Amino acid sequence: MTGPRYTPLAQSLPATVPFVGPETQERQRGAPFAARLGANENIFGPSPRAIEAMQRAASEIWMYGDPENHDLRAALAAHHGVQPDNIVVGEGIDGLLGYLVRLMVGPGDPVVTSEGAYPTFNYHVAGFGGVLHKVPYAGDHEDPQALFAKAAEVGAKLVYLANPDNPMGSWLKGADIVAAMQALPEDTLLVLDEAYVECAPDGTAVQVDADDPRLIRMRTFSKAYGMAGARVGYALGAPELIAAFNKVRNHFGMNRAAQAGALAALVDGEWLAHVQTEIATARTRLGEIARENGLIPLPSATNFVTIDCGKDGIFAKCVLDNLVASGIFVRMPFAEPHNRCIRVSCGPRADLDAFATALPAALAAARR
């Protein structure tokens, strides 16, 4: 038997996963985590109205979701002051990044990102045969000038920039990104991942014409809206680009209850404000915990705090392993030199207390 014939590209790909899930680690440990602070999930949860909407939708789950996502796109358009044809809804930003890369990137096509930026974007680029060119961070920040200069140098089809940044938690002013875009080659598309922007100070989101063909903005209900498990992301962009998603997307791919939940979450501004306050409180508390242990919390405009453990990647990995072994799920999705850090998600008092309790011993063991 010769068996099925994969494409040359598929043959060349590793069977990989951008992130190992906490459930996998729990099965390996043989015990659940005491605190789930590693995936930048929002433990404060979604709006009670969103939960109610999803529960109500459960009994009508026999129906496929609306493949046009009409009602959600209409509400998002009103929310952002744009037209529905500026918006495509998809299975999380991960799903939308996959479709976007598929539309743009073929074997050998150049793409630019930062060394240490979002691995799932890289997964998609590699998955369609694209060639990644990486620029270093400027300190703890992404570096739009360097990204766009590299894009010009290599003729990039796409350049990826997250603002606020994951995994560093750092952020840039939207106006500074817009200014830097003057150097963006006119045939390079900026993929601006604003997954965490609802956790950031005013002025972090870019103010651009929704029809601007130079960029596409990625947004999600997974972070501030607390619905990671629902898989609802959306992209804002020029109508021609947004329409192109209809060539490749899984039209009936959206969960019907998730559509209803996102719609309910979007209109509950009060809950969003509540969560924003909770996140700010948790960031402050995480900073205190870090400092009490002689570590340096980096400033954050996200729902996590990146903590500099003060030594090298081997040390930080040892701290991380000790935390995980003691039941605290955290991650260090960093490239050098940022792998001196661990990343801890915001959460309620009890979760952060569990982290605070485990950290001293994890550090002491790492120092031995």
**Least distance to its own copies from the beta carbon of 359, Å?**
23
**Least distance to its own copies from the beta carbon of 311, Å?**
30
State which residue, 31 or 138, has the beta carbon closest to its own copies: 31
State which residue, 58 or 364, has the beta carbon closest to its own copies: 58
**Least distance to its own copies from the beta carbon of 15, Å?**
4
Instruction: Please give the helix or strand (H or E) that residue 77 lies within, else none.
Output: helix 70-80
Q: Which of 281, 268, 82, 297 shows the shortest CA–CA distance to 199?
A: 281
**Least distance to its own copies from the beta carbon of 255, Å?**
4
State which residue, 109 or 142, has the beta carbon closest to its own copies: 109
**Least distance to its own copies from the beta carbon of 365, Å?**
28
State which residue, 7 or 207, has the beta carbon closest to its own copies: 7
Q: What 3-state class would DSSP assign to 202?
A: coil
Q: Which stretches does DSSP call E strand in the chain? A: 35-36, 87-90, 110-114, 131-135, 158-162, 189-193, 215-220, 233-236, 296-297, 304-308, 328-329, 341-345
Query: Is the CB of residue 195 less than 8 Å from the CB of residue 93?
Result: yes
State which residue, 227 or 356, has the beta carbon closest to its own copies: 227
**Least distance to its own copies from the beta carbon of 265, Å?**
10
State which residue, 109 or 268, has the beta carbon closest to its own copies: 109
- How many CB atoms sit inside 10 A of residue 7's CB? 9
Q: Look at the chain and count its residues.
A: 368
Give me 329's structure tokens: 């799920």
- How many CB atoms sit inside 10 A of residue 246's CB? 12
